[in-house]
């Protein structure tokens, strides 16, 4: 329950306005609960209507996306772009292509993105977009025609100084390539900085592919060092998911001395007590978009189990949920605690339900929330924009060093913010307050109300 009458009023309005948007309510409530601790010291937030403004997107674009499959049949999907906040920079955030995409999911993701982007220290506002299109099982030609149709409408709403989309679930290098190609054709100019996550040959940045997973491990390593005088060295790690975030989290956790023993996809999970052979996972997932089940057929000593949530029965020291939102509820969290974990860091966006976070924190586990822990992806997108503006490319080592610096800074920034408001060690509160304060100060300075 919110203590502040002002915040309670804002939250009630959010729920009353869009009663069905459960994921959005969840994301807003978590942030408001943290702001409850500082709102009294900042009467200007209420006087200037900052928080009711903050929870309402600046603009929501919704459009139809017709496309033709390989048999010549017409399909119509729905496309969206939620331009949530441009207070500190052009709108920035990914596109998600998945059948579960709807306004609630995209508003929650766009809202989180504002705070995440603020934490990176780079000048990027918050946005999210996508479609209920399901790329699974579609041919290359079908994905291309879908992306072209999507961009035919989206192009008028974006630009390097306006809104810069990137990838998310279901949108990787292939989709960004098709989207960029269509943008360039329609606009007749080479605006490389209009999208991030591009191929290296046309303005993409080194490390962007690895960035979310690497960044997650850099922040986790810093958290372990500063809060437990410990590290990944010798730790057993479980990573849910097997997409871009999970794969490169696995690579970095292993490089830092951890042993990753389980990964999953939406059907089930693999357990390899000898440590996951990442080349096999990459070959299955990136090579031919296969199912994780294949791993157990190829690697002796490993097993496959149906049901992706069961991955959390595998004991670990460090849990890195990198699949999707709300994959860990209170019951699963209790299993993770019972099995002796010491730390949880969110690689996906909002993978832990509020009850789960509560269980982890009550049990004294370290917990790093997504808006800090997975900010490495968008931070490196910010570095890609910088390189596009300079018409220059940094080396892998240069980008990687900048990414590491950003993640270490994020950790200290959120740790200190928690400490300052008397909630030492609560990185959820720290991330929400540090991310919000910067945006709120800019809203006050710009007189956006
Ligand atoms: N989709 C990613 C995220 O959730 C990256 C967004 C971007 O690079 O703009 O942060």
Best of 83, 84, 85, 93 for a ligand 1 pocket test (most atoms within 8 Å of beta carbon): 93
Best of 82, 124, 166 for a ligand 1 pocket test (most atoms within 8 Å of beta carbon): 166
Q: How many CA atoms lie within 13 Å of 83's alpha carbon, on the beta-carbon side?
A: 18
Pairing of strands 268-271, 303-306: antiparallel
Best of 168, 175, 195, 406 for a ligand 1 pocket test (most atoms within 8 Å of beta carbon): 168
- Nearest atom in ligand 1 to the alpha carbon of residue 117 is 10
Same fold, 59-191 and 211-364: yes
CA of 229 to the centre of ligand 1 (A): 30
CA of 167 to the centre of ligand 1 (A): 6
Find out whether 198 and 167 touch, Cβ atoms under 8 Å: no
Does 448 have pLDDT greater than 80?
Answer: no
What is the C-alpha separation between 366 and 343, in angstroms, rounded? 4
- The fold of the 1-55+428-449 domain, in CATH, is 1.10.285
Mean pLDDT, range 42-64, rounded to an integer: 97
What pLDDT, on the 0 to 100 scale, is given for residue 449?
57
What pLDDT, on the 0 to 100 scale, is given for residue 277?
98
Closest among 124, 86, 110, 115 to 382, alpha carbons compared: 124
Closest among 282, 276, 278 to 259, alpha carbons compared: 276
CA of 207 to the centre of ligand 1 (A): 14
CATH hierarchy code of domain 211-364: 3.40.50.720
| Active-site pick, 128, 198, 404, 438 | 128
Instruction: Examine the residue annotation and report whether 293 is marked as an active-site residue of this protein.
Output: no
What is the C-alpha separation between 298 and 291, in angstroms, rounded? 12
CA of 299 to the centre of ligand 1 (A): 33
For residue range 224-254, what is the model confidence (pLDDT) as tens digits? 999 999 999 999 999 999 999 999 999 999 9
Better pLDDT: 448 or 370: 370
> What number of residues does the chain have?
449
Residues with CB under 6 A from ligand 1: 92-94, 116, 166, 168, 196, 349, 377-378, 381
Does 98 have pLDDT greater than 60?
Answer: yes
What pLDDT, on the 0 to 100 scale, is given for residue 197?
98
- Nearest atom in ligand 1 to the alpha carbon of residue 92 is 9
What is the C-alpha separation between 241 and 63, in angstroms, rounded? 30
Q: How confident is the model at residue 300 (pLDDT cuts 50, 70, 90)?
A: very high
Atom 5 of ligand 1, residue of closest alpha carbon: 378
Does 85 have pLDDT greater than 60?
Answer: yes
429 contacts: CB under 8 Å, gap ≥ 6: 34, 37, 417, 418, 421, 423
- Nearest atom in ligand 1 to the alpha carbon of residue 349 is 4
- Nearest atom in ligand 1 to the alpha carbon of residue 208 is 8
Report the mean per-residue pLDDT for the chain: 97
Phi, psi (deg, nearest 5) at residue 53: -75, -45
Find out whether 246 and 240 touch, Cβ atoms under 8 Å: yes
What pLDDT, on the 0 to 100 scale, is given for residue 163?
98
Q: How confident is the model at residue 1 (pLDDT cuts 50, 70, 90)?
A: confident
Does 268 have pLDDT greater than 60?
Answer: yes
Q: Does domain 59-191 have CATH number 3.40.1350.10?
A: no
CA of 127 to the centre of ligand 1 (A): 9
CA of 374 to the centre of ligand 1 (A): 9
340 contacts: CB under 8 Å, gap ≥ 6: 315, 317
> What angle (nearest 5°) sits at the alpha carbon of residue 39, between those of residues 35 and 43?
155
- Nearest atom in ligand 1 to the alpha carbon of residue 93 is 9
Closest among 295, 283, 343, 352 to 322, alpha carbons compared: 352
Atom 8 of ligand 1, residue of closest alpha carbon: 378
What pLDDT, on the 0 to 100 scale, is given for residue 269?
98
What is the C-alpha separation between 175 and 14, in angstroms, rounded? 33
What pLDDT, on the 0 to 100 scale, is given for residue 95?
98
| Rounded percentage of the chain residues whose pLDDT exceeds 70 | 100
Q: Where are the domains of the chain?
A: 1-55+428-449, 59-191, 211-364
Element (H, E) at 166: strand 163-166
What is the C-alpha separation between 414 and 418, in angstroms, rounded? 6
């Amino acid at each position: 329950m919110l203590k502040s009458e002002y915040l309670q009023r804002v939250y009630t309005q959010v729920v009353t306005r869009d009663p069905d948007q459960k994921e959005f309510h969840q994301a807003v409530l978590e942030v408001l609960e943290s702001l409850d601790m500082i709102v009294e010291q900042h009467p200007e937030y209420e006087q200037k209507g900052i928080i009711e403004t903050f929870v309402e997107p600046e603009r929501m674009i919704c459009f139809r996306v017709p496309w033709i499959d390989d048999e010549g049949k017409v399909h119509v999907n729905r496309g969206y772009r939620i331009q949530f906040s441009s207070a500190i920079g052009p709108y920035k955030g990914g596109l998600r292509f998945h059948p579960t995409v709807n306004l609630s999911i995209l508003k929650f993701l766009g809202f989180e993105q504002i705070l995440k982007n603020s934490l990176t220290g780079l000048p990027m506002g918050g946005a999210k977009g996508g479609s209920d299109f399901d790329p699974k099982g579609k041919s290359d030609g079908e994905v291309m025609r879908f992306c072209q149709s999507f961009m035919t409408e989206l192009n008028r709403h974006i630009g390097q100084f306006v809104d810069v989309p990137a990838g998310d679930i279901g949108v990787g290098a292939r989709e960004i390539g098709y989207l960029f190609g269509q943008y360039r054709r329609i606009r007749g100019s080479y605006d490389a900085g209009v999208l991030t996550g591009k191929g290296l040959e046309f303005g993409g940045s080194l490390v962007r592919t690895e960035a979310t997973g690497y960044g997650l491990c850099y922040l986790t390593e810093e958290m372990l060092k500063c809060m437990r005088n410990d590290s990944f060295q010798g730790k057993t790690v479980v990573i849910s998911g097997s997409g871009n975030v999970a794969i490169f989290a696995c690579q970095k956790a292993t490089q830092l001395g951890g042993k990753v023993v389980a990964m999953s996809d939406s059907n089930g999970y693999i357990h390899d007590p000898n440590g996951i052979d990442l080349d096999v996972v990459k070959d299955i997932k990136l090579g031919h978009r296969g199912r994780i089940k294949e791993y157990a057929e190829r690697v002796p000593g490993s097993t496959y189990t149906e049901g992706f949530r069961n991955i959390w029965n595998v004991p670990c020291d460090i849990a890195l949920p990198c699949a999707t939102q709300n994959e860990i509820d209170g019951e699963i969290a209790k299993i993770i605690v019972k099995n002796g974990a010491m730390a949880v860091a969110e690689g996906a966006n909002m993978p832990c339900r509020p009850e789960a976070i509560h269980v982890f924190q009550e049990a004294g586990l370290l917990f790093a929330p997504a808006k800090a822990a997975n900010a490495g992806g968008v931070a490196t997108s910010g570095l890609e924009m910088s390189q596009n503006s300079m018409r220059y490319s940094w080396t892998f080592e240069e980008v990687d060093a900048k990414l590491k610096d950003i993640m270490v800074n994020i950790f200290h920034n959120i740790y200190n913010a928690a400490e300052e408001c008397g909630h030492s060690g609560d990185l959820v509160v720290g991330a929400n307050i540090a991310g919000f304060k910067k945006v709120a100060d800019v809203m006050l300075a710009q007189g956006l109300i």
